[in-house]
Amino acid sequence: MRFRVPRIAPSEITPQEVYLSRRALLAGALATGASAVLPAAEPSPQGAPLNFTVNSQYSVKETPNKFEEITTYNNFYEFGTDKDSPSHEAHTLRTRPWSVNVYGEAEVHGTFDLEDLLKGQALEERIYRFRCVEAWSMVVPWVGIPLSNLLQRFKPTSRAKYVEFTTLYDPRQMPGQRVPVLTWPYVEGLRIDEAMHPLTLMVVGLYGRVLPNQDGAPLRLIVPWKYGFKGIKSIVKIGFTAVQPRTAWNVAAPDEYGFYANVNPQVDHPRWSQASERRIGAPFLAARRPTLPFNGYADQVASLYQGMDLRRYF
């Protein structure tokens, strides 16, 4: 897999005051009715503005990456293995109509249209650090809802120990699925206490607008203290399970990609160090920055793993 770091000057990054003023304008347009939080259904409403509030409690104070960086440098193997492949190929994905099947150890099961699934849910923007296992990082203004708010609707039972997520499988729309790079469809999972943690976000947008296809439209997961491959995209199934899900990268390379995938500078990938990272958009020769345990969210999440050997459960 080719790894290229864009040579983008800091001067090209959106100035913080411009971004904040635009964010305030969008936030001020918060709808007052009981209508769905997403725009009216279209064949693929990429880029439509969203109604949201700004959650400063869970936002980092770092300047976000440029929109162009966030949308042109992605891992989304369903559309190719190069970082720029999704931005070129994901136009084939149709995100309307879209539905999600809910199953497993919960009282409420069924298939739900996306608009019905999100109806009545208040969207919020959170600026999170995003850390990929290849040692590159971004700061992204995601828009979504706390995953716990969504999962509680389905009333998981006491037997639900994990939550399993599955990506759409349709090689006609996702040409990367025609190549056996992974066992398709893509599957990811969380322990249920991780899924219910207030930092875990079900995302529908970024930069105040509907999520672009290449970033996982129309519904993706963000768990900011974990490596990016845990952030499954284009979700069509959510299951509550009693046993740990068999996840795509863990099945493909269990010695390289653990189920937990917590950002840990002391546990290297077998082919590269995880002790430092390079922020996308920084000058190519800029100094790398040290990797922070749990991607800088240790104060909020380290207690989830108390007593665990994090070298073994990586």
- Cα(197)–Cα(163) distance, integer angstroms: 13
Neighbour-count burial of 215, counting CB atoms closer than 10 A to its CB (0-12 exposed, 13-18 middle, 19+ buried): buried
Residue closest to 310 by CA, chosen among 263, 272, 246: 263
The verdict on residue 311 lying in a domain is no
The verdict on residue 1 lying in a domain is no
The verdict on residue 45 lying in a domain is yes
Neighbour-count burial of 306, counting CB atoms closer than 10 A to its CB (0-12 exposed, 13-18 middle, 19+ buried): exposed
Contacts of 307 (CB under 8 A, 6+ apart): none
The verdict on residue 87 lying in a domain is yes
Q: What is the pLDDT of residue 177?
A: 98
Q: What is the pLDDT of residue 32?
A: 31
The verdict on residue 201 lying in a domain is yes
Radius of gyration of the chain (CA): 18
Q: What is the pLDDT of residue 42?
A: 53
- Cα(314)–Cα(298) distance, integer angstroms: 15
Structure tokens, 72 = 């042109």
pTM to 2 decimal places: 0.87
Contacts of 254 (CB under 8 A, 6+ apart): none
Q: What is the pLDDT of residue 267?
A: 94
The verdict on residue 286 lying in a domain is yes
Structure tokens, 293 = 């345990």
Q: What is the pLDDT of residue 145?
A: 98
Q: CATH number, domain at 232?
A: 3.90.420.10
Q: What is the pLDDT of residue 37?
A: 54
The verdict on residue 67 lying in a domain is yes
From first to last of the 314 residues of the chain, give the pLDDT tens digit: 443 434 444 444 444 444 444 444 434 433 333 334 555 445 567 789 999 999 999 999 999 999 999 999 999 999 999 999 999 999 999 999 999 999 999 999 999 999 999 999 999 999 999 999 999 999 999 999 999 999 999 999 999 999 999 999 999 999 999 999 999 999 999 999 999 999 999 999 999 999 999 999 999 999 999 999 999 999 999 999 999 999 999 999 999 999 999 999 999 999 999 999 999 999 877 889 999 999 999 999 999 999 999 999 99
**Total domains, the chain:** 1
The verdict on residue 3 lying in a domain is no
- How many residues are recorded in the chain? 314
Alpha-carbon separation of residue 12 from 132, 136, 234, 279 (angstroms): 22, 19, 30, 14
Range of the domain at 175: 10-305
